[in-house]
Amino acid sequence: MTIELPTTVPLQAYLALAAILFCTGVWGLINSRNAVRVLMSIELMLNAVNINLWRSPATSMVS
């Protein structure tokens, strides 16, 4: 007997994580007074976008 359970992490979880990362990057970009920290915030935002792009459904490892 099989019970329908979410076997993978849903897409919205990844999108929410990317949103958290992007908003943190935006806050750092606005509020930092150091040039290197501005660069680091921009890198955070770029990584958030990459998480959004690379969502592919993971194969269900259950059998």
Partner 1 sequence: MTIASSTQFICFVVLSAVVAIGALGVVLLPSIVYSAFLLGGVFLSVAGLYLLLNASFVAAAQVLVYVGAVNVLILFAIMLVNKKEDLAAIPGLAVRRLLSGAVCGGLFVLLLRVAFTTPWALPGPTPIGEEATIRIGEHLFSDYLLPFELASVLLLMAMIGAIVLARRDVYSSDVVTGEPADQGLIEKSRTPLLLEKTN
Q: Does 13 bind partner 1 (CB under 8 A)?
A: yes
CB-based contact 18:49 (threshold 8 Å): yes
Q: Do the beta carbons of residue 46 and residue 40 sit within 8 Å?
A: no
Does 49 sit near partner 1 (CB under 8 A)?
Answer: no
Query: Is residue 11 a contact residue for partner 1 (CB under 8 A)?
Result: yes
Q: Closest distance between partner 1 and the C-beta of residue 55, in Å?
A: 6
Question: 35-53 and 11-31 are packed helices; what angle lies between their axes, rounded to 10 degrees?
Answer: 160
**Is residue 31 near partner 1 by the rule CB under 8 A?**
yes
Would you say how long the chain is, in residues?
A: 63
The site for partner 1 (CB under 8 A) is made up of: 5-9, 11-17, 19-28, 30-34, 36-37, 39-41, 43-44, 47, 50-51, 54-62
